[in-house]
């Protein structure tokens, strides 16, 4: 079981006991339901879900963003420099890289971008 599957299982398992849960979909308004959809995709290595995972990189929920990028990393071997807790502008730039990669036919992912050089003192 991957780290993503374990972590998502723990998070979504904390919901109210005895309540019926909606069918997990990536479009659900509830982050827990989106995380369950994400967990299903990871568990089955469903690469058809990659466009949905890329969309989740724009989620307003940091947990959804984190598990989306971890799922993408598990499926492709890269994060393309996406950091779930980075400022919105940096996240958007990385999500744009993911979208461009997918629209180009999803060839082998490019290597991780190198971290910028620290400013000279």
pLDDT (tens digit, 0 to 9) for every residue of the chain, 121 residues total? 555 655 555 554 544 444 566 788 888 888 899 999 999 999 998 989 999 999 999 999 999 999 999 999 999 999 999 999 999 999 999 999 999 999 998 776 656 666 556 666 6
- Is 8 within a domain? yes
- Is 30 within a domain? yes
- Is 111 within a domain? no
Write down the pLDDT at residue 23.
83
Give this prediction's pTM: 0.72
Domain boundaries, position 25: 3-14+21-103
Q: Which residue has the tokens 């998070």?
A: 11
Write down the pLDDT at residue 16.
45
Write down the pLDDT at residue 120.
64
Write down the pLDDT at residue 14.
47
Write down the pLDDT at residue 106.
76
- Is 51 within a domain? yes
HEC-encoded secondary structure of 66-91: HHHHHHHHHHHCCCCCCCCCCCHHHH
- Is 115 within a domain? no
- Is 110 within a domain? no
Domain count along the chain: 1
- Is 46 within a domain? yes
- Is 114 within a domain? no
């Amino acid at each position: 079981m991957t780290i993503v599957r374990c972590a998502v299982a723990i998070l979504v398992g904390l919901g109210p006991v005895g309540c019926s849960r909606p069918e997990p979909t990536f479009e659900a308004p509830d982050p827990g339901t989106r995380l369950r959809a994400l967990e299903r995709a990871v568990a089955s290595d469903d690469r058809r879900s990659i466009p949905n995972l890329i969309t989740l990189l724009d989620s307003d929920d940091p947990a959804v963003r984190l598990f989306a990028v971890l799922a993408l990393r598990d499926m492709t071997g890269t994060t393309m420099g996406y950091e779930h807790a980075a400022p919105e502008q940096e996240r958007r730039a990385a999500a744009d890289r993911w979208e461009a990669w997918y629209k180009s036919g999803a060839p082998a992912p490019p290597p991780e971008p190198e971290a910028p050089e620290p400013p000279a003192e």
